[in-house]
Structure 1
């Protein structure tokens, strides 16, 4: 019998009261305790932080699924997302070491954090890539963010009962509406999750039943695929398959949530495959914004700005051909983008414009450089007029 478990743990911002009414003292106290417990008990959680690094205003969205902590942060003056990855410092109990993803793929080192997470506070030090400059980090959970619940689902599927290997693993790390989100917003977020998981028509939106059904289908596929192999190859380690979905937040301010959705799999071979997409959710209107809602049709002009960012990323000169560092002659705008209060980040998945080794390519275009291309509706929504 497959071993499966479904863990739903809701972690809320310490000061996130009801968005329609102010939370009372008892509710605030309970929320504080929940935030502390989720860190100390190694549960699953999502937190939106605001504060300063080196005295500069920043915001960060941090997630913990199972034992893995990842996130994104940005300086408020720039609005450009910077992915970050946490690991524990075995020599210093309670300390997390954090690596920033460098903008240039050939960077030999990256900026690092050394921080603690205690109750609703993340604090510590930021160090540059050479370790020469050290600055204070002080972040606290923000009351203005939409609270979301972190959910972890996993299923281990052995090829044969009673054998540990080969086996396949299926995981889903998702974010669901928190208790203080109103019904309309909750239904909107639930719909996004359901569609992302392919559960919008299956099992009438019952997420747990949908995931169990998907796990059963995956088990059938896995056992059939491995069963067709030669006996001498069937127990090889490359038959330990994996499939997973991960849901993160990259922006949670101004009644706007930028979701980052990732899918990954390994089905044998040298390496697995993965890709991610952004969903820009306007919580004021319960609308997902598409590129045509944001910019007028002028692909040549927008292409020029995207390629400018691509040249900067690859340390290219202005006249150097894009193809000299990328797989393509031109980098066109796609529908995979994140909106913040300062600009658009276009995401290109592995092999789309660059090699697998370079990972996903994120190209940031500030609104200031394309302000005349932005639609009146988007300018009004972002309060640019």
Structure 2
């Protein structure tokens, strides 16, 4: 999903926010982590949460790695993406709520925020409007109904200096964050494949370490080429590589994984991309678009362009090239869905410039209903 939101993504990445002071008055007044503290949350976790925000039923997929939180939730439409704002103690956090379409037009817009406190089996707190003083209660419980799955998170990071003998040497660093499914062998194997494991790699820690070691070995070979030329003062040899897996849907025996990869190996900026993998645990297969919709490409293109105009404020009579490279938008295979609709994500340079970021277009199922495959419509609950 969009890197600033997955969406997310979406997008994400994907999607970061600067941490505010732990003593910021408005936040500490909302959450008092010194009262009624329950067992600390683990350092790394994934939680599927269900409940109400402002009286509306929501499903939230929330992840924590160290002191960083991220996730998404939805109720009657597309995803709202979550990133950390303020960490308060070990059981409370304030999250930014990011809508990718709104952020596209105003990156300085004040985000709505969710102030959450862990209560042992979920989170309670307040939803706070970023533009007004309006607040609503939040009540979320950790739930894994039939057709949803529990996950753990495995991480690995390492770094190496280009020229260890130099005090200010360029550095290569790699960070990996993977979802693991210890209670479902098929899912766990799919996650390993998506992460890039070789067929003979079955242990998560060993597999992640092997991936990191391979990256750093390639870096050392690259550095050696510069040393041959006597060039050991090249700041652009500060390399970085990250791969992160996150969940955007976990219901009805469908598990949708966003794999966000970003890499910098010199140049004006790095590159990043999100790839979505829709896994059908019931049939043990990865979905392709024709498993979800049976529709003429031109009809689907028309729905994409209609919703792009709506979501990116491209008025009637204006060309789509005000946002895109071209005056059309064709469907791709980078799709994902929730209970309410289907989304397509286009990574930088795919249909628009790097500055435009990821382009995400969401189509409600109400517009796709005539084209949904019967099997998928039945699974998702569309009548």
Q: How does 1:143-182 map to 2 (within 5 A)?
A: 143-144=144-145, 145-161=148-164, 165-178=169-182, 181=183
Instruction: Give how far 1:323 is off.
Output: 0.8
Instruction: Give how far 1:334 is off.
Output: 0.8
Q: How does 1:104-115 map to 2 (within 5 A)?
A: 104=102, 105-107=104-106, 108-109=108-109, 110-115=111-116
Instruction: Name the CA distance, whole Å, in 2 between partners of 1:267 and 1:289.
Output: 33
Contact 1:66 1:152 in 2 (8 A): no
Q: Is 1:226 matched with 2:226?
A: no
**Residue in structure 2 matched with residue 59 of structure 1 by the alignment:** 59
**Residue in structure 2 matched with residue 335 of structure 1 by the alignment:** 333
TM-score, normalization by structure 1: 0.80
Other structure's SS at 2:226 match: coil
Instruction: Name the CA distance, whole Å, in 1 between partners of 2:361 and 2:187.
Output: 26
Instruction: Give how far 1:163 is off.
Output: 5.9
Instruction: Name the CA distance, whole Å, in 2 between partners of 1:93 and 1:196.
Output: 32
**Residue in structure 1 matched with residue 257 of structure 2 by the alignment:** 259
Contact 1:277 1:336 in 2 (8 A): yes
**Residue in structure 2 matched with residue 3 of structure 1 by the alignment:** none
**Residue in structure 1 matched with residue 374 of structure 2 by the alignment:** 376
Q: Is 1:317 matched with 2:315?
A: yes
Distance 1:138 1:267, change over 3 A: same
Contact 2:45 2:63 in 1 (8 A): yes
Q: Is 1:196 matched with 2:194?
A: yes
Mark the runs of 5 or more structure 2 residues left unpaired by the alignment: 1-37
330-339 or 264-273, which deviates more: 264-273
> Alignment length, in residue pairs?
338
Q: How does 1:130-149 map to 2 (within 5 A)?
A: 130-144=131-145, 145-149=148-152
**Residue in structure 1 matched with residue 46 of structure 2 by the alignment:** 46
Instruction: Name the CA distance, whole Å, in 2 between partners of 1:58 and 1:146.
Output: 17
Distance 1:253 1:114, change over 3 A: same
Distance 1:121 1:237, change over 3 A: farther
| Deviations, residues 83-141 of structure 1 (Å, cap 9, x unaligned) | 11013257x88642322222231134122222223433222222223133221222111
Instruction: Name the CA distance, whole Å, in 1 between partners of 2:216 and 2:141.
Output: 43
Instruction: Give how far 1:282 is off.
Output: 1.9
**CA-atom RMSD in angstroms:** 2.4
Instruction: Name the CA distance, whole Å, in 1 between partners of 2:232 and 2:132.
Output: 48
**Residue in structure 1 matched with residue 214 of structure 2 by the alignment:** 217
Distance 1:131 1:358, change over 3 A: farther
Contact 1:191 1:200 in 2 (8 A): no
Instruction: Name the CA distance, whole Å, in 2 between partners of 1:129 and 1:301.
Output: 38
Distance 1:37 1:175, change over 3 A: farther
Q: Is 1:121 matched with 2:122?
A: yes
